[in-house]
């Protein structure tokens, strides 16, 4: 509901497209389900609280 409210607001402001930057620590599949297109992805090794791991970062775009 919030996502669609933002799209409606952008449309009312004549915003024609937008970009979203996210990573694998969230539900990035939600954006794909909403019709956003993944344009880039980047893997990065991280060290959080002594734990090593890998995150993937994603750049999405969408026409409003």
pTM of the model: 0.81
DSSP 1-64: -HHHHHHHHHHHTT--EEEEEEETTS-THHHHHTT-EEEEEEEEEEEETTEEEEEEEEEEEEE-
What is the pLDDT, as a whole number, of residue 40?
97
Determine the pLDDT at residue 28. Answer: 92
Number of Cα atoms under 13 Å in the Cβ half of residue 63 = 0
How confident is the model over 4-58, as pLDDT tens digits? Answer: 999 999 999 999 999 999 999 899 999 999 999 999 999 999 998 899 999 999 9
């Amino acid at each position: 509901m919030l996502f669609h409210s933002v799209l409606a607001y952008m449309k009312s402001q004549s915003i024609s497209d937008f970009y979203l930057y996210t990573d694998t620590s969230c539900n990035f599949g939600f954006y794909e389900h909403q019709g956003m297109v993944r344009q880039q992805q980047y893997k990065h090794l991280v060290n959080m609280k002594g734990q090593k791991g890998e995150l993937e970062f994603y750049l999405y775009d969408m026409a409003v």
